[in-house]
Amino acid sequence: MESAHHAVSAGTTYLFATILAAMILALALEEKLHARKSLIVGFFAIGSLLLASIFGFMPFGDIIIPGGQRLHMPIYIEAVDWEVIAIIIGSSLFVDVTSRSGLFSWIAIRLTKASGGDPLKLLWYYGSMTVLFSAVLNNVTAMIIVGSLTGVSLKKLGQDRMMLGFLLIEGLLTNIGGLLTLISSVPNIIVGNAAGISFVTFFIKASPYVLVATVATLLLGARLFRIGSLKSDSDRQKAAALIDSFDERDGIHSMPFFWFSTAALVAFILTIATTSITPVIRDLGMGFVAMAFAVVVLARFKHEVNEFYRAVDWDLILFFMSLFVVINVMEHAQVLALIGKGVAWMIGEGDSATGTAALLIASSVFSSVTDNIPLAAMLAKILTSLNIPGDSSLWWSVVFGANLGGNITPIGSASTLVAVTIIHKYQLKLSFGGFVRLAVPYALMQIVLATAYVLLVL
């Protein structure tokens, strides 16, 4: 930046921390305010930027790029993580277009047939798929694909009443799957690089927890949402008769387009999964991959693309853009630094059980209301400055906390917010407060398991 920003006083930091708390409260009361999330956060984004400009701590000015050239970029444009926005738009368009081929209906019906129409088996199938997809793709793409398949299966079975439970559980499982490998989420990459944790070591240490947490989440979800197996012979016979009436080819109107979509989906998954290690593509990022595949499949409906553009959830897009702006202002207002100081005070000087548990819980709470990427980066810097060795369990506290905190609130992670958006798409009501009320039992269980695992195993 050309202009240097001014030091931020403690009073200013506390003021902006209060603004962040007020935004979270407003989101919790969205039903009483009769306003969409994008509008609520949009107001806070505008207000935060205006106040930040008045106080003069934002780095306004041109960006100086290599070679001495100046690039004019408004601060609210820089604040947005455009790769996340591109992933959401590109993945949504890709799934919407390829679903017209009948591919997703075909997959959903095949899974439904494999389950024998048993809702509990179907929950385990989709839960396992969610974790696997979240580990090799990004959480947002995984939720969009699995959410689409879930809707088809439950509607075919006439089990629409279970839609809320399935989609909520899948949304929570995206953040479990995001723990599986070093490249499954950005916080994993940040902490892994800082601590010097290799890909293989990360997988070996994280996979036992992911397995246990997945099983525990599915068991708890089945119980709380009363998703059970078919008990009586008559119920199983009815389900079998219903399954026999399903024909996975019903939704396929063009076999060439079906095979084209199948090839595109396989290529999309493989490309997303290998983006970080593929030359050229790794420089362009996952957002580019998602948008590129969206453009390729849109070519099939080149005269009707407006129909797909209208289907994009602009409320979700605007919400994310506004949220990124608010979080960016909070970072410059030293609100995240204030959180970091509190965390550093909690863990003390060394590697103790109390400090490890406190760090995991604190990072979970804070990542539920702030972007876990700058939070993970800040905590990694703190641990590095304290000369914490790479094999310390403190590093794993940050990994687990930054990922699992996204399951406490719908704004804790992009994938949980996408899950809520899909829930609303099926005309199901779920407010900010409603999500927290339903998700907290799962989040608490996952965090308790993670704390025990870090203290007793790692």
DSSP symbols for 29-80:
THHHHT--HHHHHHHHHHHHHHHHHHHT-S--S-EEETTTEEE---HHHHTS
The two three-digit tokens of residue 71, written as one number: 């690039």
191 occurs within a structural domain: no
67 occurs within a structural domain: yes
The two three-digit tokens of residue 402, written as one number: 């930054």
337, 398: one domain:
yes
pLDDT at 296: 92
Q: Are 215 and 169 in contact (CB under 8 A)?
A: no
The two three-digit tokens of residue 327, written as one number: 């979080």
pLDDT string in tens for the chain (458-residue length): 444 446 788 899 999 999 988 988 887 777 777 788 889 889 999 999 999 999 888 877 666 666 667 777 788 888 887 887 888 888 888 888 888 888 877 887 888 888 888 899 999 999 998 998 888 777 887 888 889 888 888 888 888 889 999 999 999 999 999 898 876 777 887 788 788 888 788 889 999 999 999 999 999 999 999 998 887 788 788 878 788 777 778 778 889 999 999 999 889 888 877 887 888 888 888 789 889 999 999 988 877 888 888 878 788 788 888 888 888 898 889 887 887 777 777 776 656 788 889 889 988 988 887 767 767 777 887 787 777 888 888 899 999 999 999 899 888 888 888 899 899 988 898 888 899 999 999 999 999 999 999 999 87
What residues have CB less than 8 Å from 223, skipping those under 6 apart? none
169, 263: one domain:
yes
322, 287: one domain:
no
31, 120: one domain:
no
423 occurs within a structural domain: yes
194 occurs within a structural domain: no
Closest CA relative to residue 439, chosen from 456, 423, 457: 423
Q: Could you give the CA distance from residue 89 to residue 158 in angstroms, rounded to a whole number?
A: 30
181 occurs within a structural domain: yes
Q: Could you give the CA distance from residue 329 to residue 58 in angstroms, rounded to a whole number?
A: 7
Look up tokens 């003390």; give the residue: 348
115, 76: one domain:
no
Q: Could you give the CA distance from residue 38 to residue 373 in angstroms, rounded to a whole number?
A: 21
The two three-digit tokens of residue 278, written as one number: 């593929």
pLDDT at 2: 44
Q: Could you give the CA distance from residue 404 to residue 210 in angstroms, rounded to a whole number?
A: 11
What is the per-residue burial (b if ≥16 Cβ within 10 Å, else e) of 265-298? beebbebbbebeeeeebeeeebbbbbbbbbeebb
pLDDT at 48: 93
300 occurs within a structural domain: no
Q: Could you give the CA distance from residue 329 to residue 323 in angstroms, rounded to a whole number?
A: 10
- H-type alpha helices, 274-352: 281-298, 305-310, 314-332, 335-347
Q: Could you give the CA distance from residue 123 to residue 163 in angstroms, rounded to a whole number?
A: 11
135, 222: one domain:
yes
318, 386: one domain:
yes
The gap from C-alpha 5 to its chain's centroid, in whole angstroms, comes to 32
The two three-digit tokens of residue 18, written as one number: 């209060």
Give bridge partners of residue 65 from the DSSP assignment. Answer: 69
Sign of CA dihedral 320, 322, 326, 328: positive
Closest CA relative to residue 157, chosen from 239, 252, 258: 239
What residues have CB less than 8 Å from 252, skipping those under 6 apart? 101, 102, 105, 106, 258
308 occurs within a structural domain: no
The two three-digit tokens of residue 338, written as one number: 């204030």
Maximal C-alpha separation, the chain:
76
Question: What is the CB neighbour count within 10 angstroms for residue 305?
Answer: 15
207, 164: one domain:
yes
255, 237: one domain:
yes
The two three-digit tokens of residue 349, written as one number: 């000087």
pLDDT at 350: 58
239, 169: one domain:
yes
What residues have CB less than 8 Å from 152, skipping those under 6 apart? 104, 105, 108, 109
28, 121: one domain:
no
First to last CA, the chain: 42
267, 140: one domain:
yes
Q: Are 121 and 267 in contact (CB under 8 A)?
A: no
Domain end: 239, 262, 295, which one?
A: 295
Q: Could you give the CA distance from residue 423 to residue 170 in angstroms, rounded to a whole number?
A: 11
The gap from C-alpha 123 to its chain's centroid, in whole angstroms, comes to 20
Angle at alpha carbon of residue 142, lines to 141 and 143, rounded to 5°: 90
For 22, the domain range is 10-81+313-457
264 occurs within a structural domain: yes
Structural domain count of the chain: 2
